[in-house]
Amino acid sequence: MDQTVQTVKKTIGPVRKTGRFALSPLNQRRWAGFKANRRGYWSMWIFLFLFIAAMLAEFIANDRPILISYKGEILAPVFIDYPEEIFGGFYAVTDYRDPVISEEIEANGWMLWPPIRYSYRTANVDIPTPAPAKPSWMYTKEERCKKYDKGADDERCVLGNWNWVGTDDQARDVAARLIYGFRVSVLFGLILTAASAVIGVSAGAVQGYFGGWVDLIFQRLIEIWSSIPVLYLLMIIAAVLPQGFWILLGIMLAAVLVGEFCRHCTGGIFACS
């Protein structure tokens, strides 16, 4: 304990506060105490790195090039859906992994691909074995490239088309799905926490401020809603409504967190009044 205190004191040094956005002395001591916990400090930076990488998932794992130079024109497929007729095709949306399209573009320009040339829903039709397939690095070059037209000499049999951690049972790249799935999971938790805090604190403040019948009615509604089994509620709503990110977020927001925030915030308002 004494060693931790000494570490905190040495880390923070003299308390100074300069500038509009400088930390207060109390927050400086808190930050210094957090930095003294090396495991937590480095875990924060690892999480931030993974979160930023996941937010840029389209530039890391995508079945579209980031940039294309075609006949002197610069295109950005990662942002815009270009029709295939630009490249001599006839589909409404271009499949840039199609050998015909890729050869046409390469013959008249170049493509800048992400490190992983698969999105979370892209099926790899060139895997050497039936799905789910092993990671590409576990195959020999001949096995890995045998589904391509020219075998091991095919220009499409490159690192960008590898499945670094294999594929799932629908031949979708697991690495790409991990990146996109991590982003969805973290954003879901952050949005759910922020929204429940805002709604819960606001409703709890209204209850605590007005009191009386307003608080009584709110509390009874919260208790009725909280008494409903969440699992059965989720199953019923999932059977009625289409599945989606925002629908699940709304269910979790209404079923779990708002009531707890309202209850705690109401108590806090009463305690301060």
Query: What's the pLDDT tens digit per position in 116-135?
Result: 999 999 999 888 888 899 99
pLDDT class of 226 with cuts at 50, 70, 90: confident
Give residue 25's region: left, alpha or beta (phi > 0; psi -120 to 50). Answer: alpha
Question: What is the per-residue pLDDT for 58?
Answer: 94
Question: What is the per-residue pLDDT for 131?
Answer: 86
* 42 contact partners, CB below 8 Å, separation of at least 6: none
In angstroms, the first-to-last Cα distance of the chain is 38
SS3 assignment, position 39: helix
Question: What is the per-residue pLDDT for 145?
Answer: 87
Question: What is the per-residue pLDDT for 259?
Answer: 53
What average pLDDT does the segment 199-208 reach? 79
Q: What sign has the CA pseudo-torsion 21, 26, 27, 31?
A: positive
3-state helix, strand, coil in the chain (%, to 5): 60, 5, 35
**CA 269/CA 273 separation, integer angstroms:** 6
Question: What is the per-residue pLDDT for 261?
Answer: 54
The residue ranking higher by pLDDT, 23 or 182, is 182
pLDDT class of 270 with cuts at 50, 70, 90: very low
Is pLDDT at 15 greater than 90 in this prediction?
no
**CA 150/CA 159 separation, integer angstroms:** 16
**CA 250/CA 202 separation, integer angstroms:** 17
- Virtual torsion, Cα 147, 152, 157, 158, nearest 10 deg: 160
Question: What is the per-residue pLDDT for 208?
Answer: 78
Question: What is the per-residue pLDDT for 76?
Answer: 93
